[in-house]
C-alpha cells in the first residue's frame, strides 16, 4: 500500500498554498509539521479528496484519486482541523449517520460504533446530545468517526487540539498501535505529538516541503525534534 504525491500544487489566485509537493508514503505515521498557514491543511484536504489540486497527481495504490476519488474514499478516515457536529444528535446517532454515508452496513456499523465509543471512553455519554459535550469529548467523537470504516488511510489534522494530557497520550498510543498496516498522516505544530510515534516527519512552510526524513535523522545533534524543526524553518526562511 502506498500513496504517491507528485508535483502537487494548489493556488488561490496569486497565493500558492502548496508548491511542487512530492512525497511517497507507506504504512506508518507521517508527522506533518509546519507553522500556522504553512499549507498543511490544504495539503491534507487534497489528500482527503475534499479539494482538487491546481496541478500534480495523488495516486493511491496506482489509482489517480483526483480523477477517481472513490478509490480512496472507501478506505479513508479523515478528521478535519475544525469540524462541527449536529448538537441535537447523540454521539451514537451522529456516528451512525457518518458511518452510513461511508457505506458501512447497518449491523456492522452498530457493532463498530459500540467498540469505538468504548475505545475512546465515550460509552457513558454515547446517547447524550452532542451539544452538551466538552471540546475534548467532541474531538474524541471526531476521532471515532474517522475510524468508523477501519480505514487503511487515516488523515488527522491537529487531532490533539482540545484534548487533555491523558487523552493526548491515549490518542498517540492508539495511532501508534494502528500504524503497522495503515498510512497515517498526522498534522500538527506540536512536535512532541509526533516525535515518539512518527516513522517519518515532513516539515512544510509556505507550501514547500523543506525536509522529509525519519525523526532520528532530523534530530542530528539537537536535543529535540522541536529544535530540529525550528532550525529547518529558520534556515529556509534565511535562505529565501
Partner 1 sequence: MNRIWPIYSLVRADVLERTRRYQYLATVAVTLLIGTLLVPGRGANYETFLIDGYRGIYNSAWIGASYALLTAMLLSLFAFYNVKSAVERDRTTRVGEIVATTSIGRFDYSLGKALSNFLILASMAVILAVTALVMQFVRGESLAFHPSQIFIPFALVVIPLMAVVAAIAVFFEMVPWLRGGFGNVVYFFAWTGYLVWSVQNDLRPVPWWRDMLGANFVMRQAWEALRRVDPRAGPKSVEIGADVGARVRHFFTFTGLHWSAADVAGRLVWFVVALGIVAAAAVLFDRFSKPARSTEQRRSSAFMLLCRTAAGRYTAPLIDVLFGSDFGAIVLAEFRLLVRGLNFWWYAVAAGLWIFQLFAGGTGQSIAVGLAWIWPMLQWSQLGTREAVYGTEQFIYPTMRPIRRQFVAQWSAGVLLALLTAGGSLVHWALAGNLNGIEGILAGAVFVPTLALACGALSGTTRLFEIAYLVLWYIGPMNRTMFDFTQGAYAPGYTLASLVLFALALAARRVRLQLA
Residue 103 as a binder of partner 1 (CB under 8 A): the answer is yes
Can you list the positions of beta strands (E) in 118-192? 153-157, 183-188
190 binds partner 1 (CB under 8 A): no
Query: Shortest distance, CB of residue 206 to partner 1, whole angstroms?
Result: 19
Query: Considering beta carbons, is residue 139 or 145 the nearer one to partner 1?
Result: 145
Contact 144, 120 (CB under 8 A): yes
CB of 103 to partner 1, least distance (A): 5
Return the residues of window 32-51 that contact partner 1 according to CB under 8 A.
Answer: 45, 48-51
Of 93 and 226, CB closest to partner 1:
93
In the sheet with 28-33, reading across from the earlier edge strand, the strands are 76-79, 153-157, 183-188, 28-33, 200-205, 208-213
Residue 189 CB, nearest approach to partner 1 (Å): 15
- Residue with C-alpha cell 500544487? 9
**Residue-level length of the chain:** 240
Interface residues for partner 1 in 144-183 (CB under 8 A)? 145
Is 60 near partner 1 (CB under 8 A)? no
**106 in contact with partner 1 (CB under 8 A):** yes
DSSP 207: T
113 binds partner 1 (CB under 8 A): no
CB atoms within 10 A of CB 158: 20
As a whole number of angstroms, the distance between CA 73 and CA 152 comes to 10
From 2, 22, 105, 164, residue interacting with partner 1 (rule: CB under 8 A): 105
90 DSSP 8-state letter: B
Rg (CA), the chain: 18
Footprint of partner 1 on this chain (CB under 8 A)? 45, 48-52, 70, 73-74, 76, 78, 80-89, 93-94, 96-103, 105-106, 129, 145
Amino acid at each position: 500500500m502506498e500513496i504517491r504525491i507528485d508535483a502537487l500544487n494548489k493556488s488561490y489566485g496569486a497565493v500558492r498554498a502548496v508548491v511542487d509537493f512530492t512525497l511517497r508514503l507507506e504504512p506508518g505515521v507521517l508527522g506533518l509539521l509546519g507553522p500556522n498557514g504553512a499549507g498543511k491543511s490544504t495539503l491534507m484536504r487534497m489528500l482527503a479528496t475534499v479539494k482538487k489540486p491546481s496541478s500534480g497527481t495523488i495516486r493511491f495504490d496506482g489509482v489517480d484519486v483526483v480523477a477517481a476519488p472513490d478509490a480512496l474514499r472507501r478506505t479513508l478516515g479523515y478528521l478535519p482541523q475544525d469540524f462541527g457536529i449536529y448538537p441535537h444528535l447523540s454521539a451514537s446517532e451522529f456516528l451512525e449517520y457518518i458511518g452510513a454515508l461511508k457505506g458501512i452496513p447497518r449491523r456492522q456499523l452498530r457493532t463498530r460504533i459500540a467498540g469505538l465509543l468504548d475505545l475512546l471512553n465515550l460509552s457513558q455519554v454515547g446517547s447524550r446530545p452532542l451539544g452538551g459535550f466538552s471540546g475534548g469529548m467532541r474531538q474524541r467523537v471526531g476521532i471515532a468517526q474517522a475510524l468508523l470504516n477501519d480505514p487503511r488511510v487515516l488523515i488527522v489534522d491537529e487531532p490533539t487540539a482540545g484534548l487533555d494530557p491523558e487523552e493526548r497520550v491515549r490518542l498517540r498510543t492508539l495511532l501508534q498501535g494502528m500504524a503497522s498496516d495503515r498510512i497515517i498522516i498526522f498534522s500538527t505544530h506540536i512536535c512532541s505529538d509526533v516525535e515518539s510515534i512518527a516513522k517519518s516527519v515532513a516539515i512544510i512552510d509556505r507550501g514547500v516541503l523543506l525536509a522529509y526524513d525519519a525523526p532520528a535523522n532530523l534530530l542530528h545533534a539537537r536535543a529535540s525534534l522541536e529544535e530540529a524543526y525550528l532550525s529547518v524553518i529558520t534556515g529556509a526562511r534565511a535562505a529565501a
